[in-house]
Amino acid sequence: MKFESLALNKKILDAITAQGYTSPSPIQQKAIPAILDGKDVMAAAQTGTGKTAGFTLPILERLLAGKAAAPNKIRALIITPTRELAIQVSESVSTYGTNTTLTSAVVYGGVKINPQMMKLRKGIDILIATPGRLLDLYSQNAVRFDQVETLVLDEADRMLDMGFIKDIKKIISLLPKNRQNLLFSATFSEEIRALAKGLVNEPIEISVTPRNTTVSAIKQHVIPVDKKRKSELLSYLIGSNNWQQVLVFTRTKHGANRLTKHLIADGIKSMAIHGNKSQGARVKALTSFKENKIQVLVATDIAARGIDISELPHVVNFDLPNVAEDYVHRIGRTGRAGKDGEAVSLVSADEFKQLSAIEKLIQKLIDRKLIDGFEPNHDVPASRLDLKPTKPKKPKKKKFKSFDKTRTNSAKPTNRNSSRRRKPKPKTAS
C-alpha cells in the first residue's frame, strides 16, 4: 500500500514524500482510513510504530475542509503526558502540515505562560498540550473548547500512571459532546479500557502488536551482577563493545545523576534527563543525544516517555522497573522499523521479584549472560514461568486459626482444673 491510496490531500502527500516515506506503517494503514471516516478509534501500538503520524495525518486532512479557528479557540486538541512528547507531536504536526495554512501550537508547564497565551489569541487549528498547563490556560480564559472537533489522548496509559486521571476527566467534561475521540497508547490496561468506555462511541479498535508483548527484533538478555558493581559493569560494556548511542534507564532521579557522574568520570560523554531538570536542560540533553554529541542518555521512565530516536541500537535497564509494563515501554525504543536492537538488563539479586514479573508479562524467560570478572557474589535465583502465586494460601491460614479457637474452647471442659471445679456442683444441688 502507498500513501497515495489513503485519500490524503496532495499538500500533505508532498510533505510525506519530502520526509522520504512512501508506504504507511501497519498502524497508519488501519488508523488513517478510520479517522478520515470520522470514527472514534482506540489504538494499541508500541512506540516506534508510526502512531503519531497515524493520527496527525488524518487530522490535518479533516481540518483542511473546515473553517478556521476563532480567537482563543481550537479545532483539534492533542493531550500528551509529558513536555517531551508534546514537543515531538508538535514537530510531527508542523512537518506534515508545512504546505498548508493550518496553524498549531504546543503548550506545557515549566515555562512562562504569557507567550503561550499570546499564541492562542488569534485561534489555533491544532493545540498540543499537557493536562496541567491546558487547565491553567482555560482557567485564565486563554483557550475555549466549544469549537473542538477532535480529541486525541496520546500515551493514555502513561497519563493514568502519572496521576492525570482527574485532569483528563475535567478536560473531557469541558469539551463539546459532538466530537471525534482518538485514544493511542503503547498498551491498554483495564483502567484505560474503563476510561475509554465513557469516552469513545462505538470505536474502531486497532492493535498492531499483541498486548503487553515485546518486539521480536529486539535481542534481550540479563546480566546478573552485584548492585555495587553495576556502574563499573556499564562502563565496561560501553567501552569493550564500542557502543556509540545508549539509552540507560534508572529507577530514580538521584540514581540517574549519580550514574551520569560515574560515566563522565570514566570518559564517557553522558547527560541525565529527569523531572528535576529544567525544560532547557532536558531539551539540550535530548538534542545532544539525537545528534550523537553524547554517547549515553540516562533517563527515568517518565522523562523518557517522549523520546523518539530512529535506529537506536542499545537500551540498558540499569535498574529494573517496579512496574513490569514499563519494561515493554523501555525496550520498545530499540529494534524499530525492521532494525535490530539490543536490550540489556543489569540485574542484582534483590531485583528477582521484578525480573520474574517481567518474564511472566512477556511470557518469555530472558537469556542470562555472565561477564568475566563481574560474576555476582549474590546469585540471582533461577526463574520459571509457571510459578504459582502464594496469595490463595492466606484464606486457609485464617480458617485454620478459626478452627484452633473452636477447638481450644471445646477443650476447656476437659481441663483438670475445670473438672475439679465441676465436681462439687452435684453435691451442692443434692
Please state the three-class secondary structure of 36-74 as a single string: HCCCCEEEECCCCCCHHHHHHHHHHHHHHCCCCCCCCEE
Q: Are 256 and 227 in contact (CB under 8 A)?
A: no
pLDDT of residue 281: 82
What burial class does residue 5 get, using C-beta atoms within 10 Å of its C-beta: 0-12 exposed, 13-18 middle, 19+ buried? exposed
Quick one: which of 231, 227, 302 has its CA closest to 260?
Answer: 231
Q: Phi and psi of 29, rounded to 5°?
A: -60, -35
Q: Which band of pLDDT confidence, cut at 50, 70 and 90, is reported for residue 303?
A: low
Helix (H, G, I), strand (E, B) or coil at 78: strand
pLDDT tens digits, residue range 308-353?
666 788 999 999 998 887 888 788 777 665 567 899 999 999 999 9
Asked if pLDDT for residue 97 goes beyond 70, the answer is yes
Burial 398-417 (b: 16+ CB within 10 A, else e): eeeeeeeeeeeeeeeeeeee
pLDDT of residue 200: 86
Written as one letter, the residue type at 318 is: F
pLDDT of residue 95: 94
* Ranges of CATH 3.40.50.300 domains, the chain: 3-207, 218-368
Helices 324-331 and 352-362: crossing angle, nearest 10°?
Answer: 70
Helices (H) and strands (E) in the chain, counts: 17, 14
Reported as half-sphere exposure (CB side, CA atoms, 13 A), residue 132 has a value of 12
Distance CA 16, CA 49 (A): 16
Cell of 384: 520459571
Asked if pLDDT for residue 224 goes beyond 60, the answer is yes
In sequence order, the β-bridge partners of residue 183 are 42, 153
Distances (CA, A) of 201 to 76, 146, 216, 329: 18, 19, 33, 28
Asked if pLDDT for residue 263 goes beyond 50, the answer is yes
In sequence order, the β-bridge partners of residue 341 are 218
Alpha helices, H only, 109-154? 114-120, 131-139
Q: Taking the model in full, what pTM does it have?
A: 0.62
pLDDT of residue 416: 45
Question: Which architecture characterizes domain 218-368 according to CATH?
Answer: 3-Layer(aba) Sandwich (3.40)
Which are the contacts of 290, defined by CB distance < 8 A and separation ≥ 6?
309
Q: Quick one: average pLDDT of 246-270?
A: 95
| pLDDT more than 90, % of the chain | 53
> Given its phi and psi angles, is residue 190 left (phi above 0), alpha (psi -120 to 50 degrees) or beta?
alpha
Q: Is the dihedral of CA 383, 225, 260, 220 positive or negative?
A: negative
Helix (H, G, I), strand (E, B) or coil at 181: strand
Written as one letter, the residue type at 66 is: G
pLDDT of residue 132: 93
| pLDDT more than 70, % of the chain | 82
Beta strands in 121-255 (DSSP E): 124-129, 150-154, 180-185, 204-207, 218-224, 246-249
Q: Phi and psi of 343, rounded to 5°?
A: -120, 115
Q: Is the dihedral of CA 97, 94, 83, 119 positive or negative?
A: negative
Q: Are 258 and 277 in contact (CB under 8 A)?
A: no
Q: Which band of pLDDT confidence, cut at 50, 70 and 90, is reported for residue 160?
A: confident
Q: Are 236 and 254 in contact (CB under 8 A)?
A: no
Please state which CATH number belongs to domain 3-207. Answer: 3.40.50.300
- Residue of higher predicted confidence among 300 and 371: 371
Cell of 345: 538488563
- Residue of higher predicted confidence among 417 and 193: 193
Helix (H, G, I), strand (E, B) or coil at 418: helix
Distance CA 159, CA 156 (A): 5
**Dmax of the chain from CA atoms?**
113
Asked if pLDDT for residue 80 goes beyond 90, the answer is yes
